[in-house]
Amino acid sequence: MKGKTALFYVLLSLAFFIFGVACLWQFAKNREDTQPAAESLAESSTLQDQGQGKMPGQQEMQQTKAGGGAQEEATSEDAAQEEAEKEETSQKSDGAAEELPSDDALLDEEEAVVSETLATLIRQEHDRIVVLDPGHGGEDLGFTATEEDREDEILLTEKDFALDVALRTKALLEKEDIFVIMTREGDTEEELKDRVDRANILPADFFVSLHLSLKDDSQLHGMSVIYNDQFYSRGYGSGDLAEQLLESVTEKTMEKPLGIFPCEEEDEEVRMIVMPGVRLEMGCISNRQEIKLLGRDDYRQKVAEGICEGLKKAFESRQTEKSTEDTENE
């Protein structure tokens, strides 16, 4: 009986041993089968992410971005507001810049101050002042005279004649202690308005613009004067100056006087002047005989002498009228 019992326990122990070994072998087998499947699933997931344009680890980055989306949206709103503020500031700056005077305006203002200061100094030093304005200049030839059968050959230009006579007149006036201001002293071109504006700032007594005329009648010759009848001057005025100059110049040159005429709308250099002012037309460039006369140096010198003599008499007449007026007021 004891032997049978012992054999029973031995067989039972052996059975438990075999069962345990079988369980361990099954567990090991299941583990080996599960690991390749997990690896395959991981690889499949990776390939799917790559197929959708996602790199490994990008999902985590997207989650991070999603988590910070609200912050980025707030940052974008702040940037937009900052940009709007910058634009508003820029518009205000542009508006302020538009209100500021331009460089040209500042330069004009500076030139005006300098001119006024210069004018004061000139008047302190000189009792008699004349502005001579030789017409045209530079590319502006004025009227031209050409050969009768060769129009491309220029014999005489108004700009050259006017400048030559003006320089001769200046030299003569300075010998008489009359201060002369020239609107141009070389072959330069300047806007008519600029010449007149500069002359108006200066404290001149008389303004004389020098030109030639072109007549429809080629037989007509002689001298004429256009005066400013729109500017009133007490005592000696533009009309008086016109009469005196025409008389003196025609006497000196023995040329024909064609008369004095009030200025028209197109006579800007005379119409805009704010002092006794005239335009002396020193000859008719449309007359073939007068063209020859205008080209002679001795004739130009006589014209200059006649202008100088006329201005001297104009100053004398003005002083006489002023003295008479002062006596009557006393």
Q: What is the mean pLDDT of the chain?
A: 78
Question: How do residues 145-186 score in pLDDT, each as one tens digit?
Answer: 988 767 778 999 999 999 999 999 999 999 999 999 999 999
* Alpha helix ranges (H) inside 68-191: 69-99, 103-125, 158-175
d(CA 264, CA 45): 99
pLDDT at residue 200 in the model: 87
H or E stretch covering 314: helix 297-329
Q: Are strands 179-182 and 154-157 parallel, antiparallel or unpaired?
A: unpaired
Q: How many CA atoms lie within 13 A of 83 on its CB side?
A: 6
Give which of 185, 181, 208, 167 is closest to 123, Cα–Cα: 181
Cβ contact 203:129 at 8 Å: yes
pLDDT category at 14 given cuts 50, 70, 90 is: low
Rounded to whole angstroms, how far apart are CA atoms 214 and 281? 10
Q: Please give the domain boundaries of the chain with CATH numbers for all domains.
A: 113-322 (3.40.630.40)
SS3 85: helix
Indicate if the pLDDT at residue 233 is higher than 80: no
Express as a percent the part of the chain with pLDDT over 90.
Answer: 44
Task: Enter the pTM of the model.
Answer: 0.66
Of residues 68 and 300, which shows the higher confidence score?
Answer: 300
Task: Report which DSSP code applies to 137.
Answer: B
Question: Nearest-5° angle of CA 33, CA 38, CA 42?
Answer: 155
The confidence score (pLDDT) of residue 112 equals: 57
pLDDT tens track for 96-130? 444 555 655 554 565 555 566 776 788 788 889 99
Per cent of the chain over pLDDT 70 is 63
Give the confidence band of 309 by pLDDT, cuts at 50, 70, 90.
very high
- For range 13-18, the mean pLDDT: 61
**Higher confidence at residue 195 or residue 314?**
314
Model pLDDT, residue 188: 92
Residue 59 vs residue 207, higher pLDDT: 207
Contact 220, 284 (CB under 8 A): yes
> Measured between alpha carbons, how far is 283 from 262 in angstroms, rounded to an integer?
18
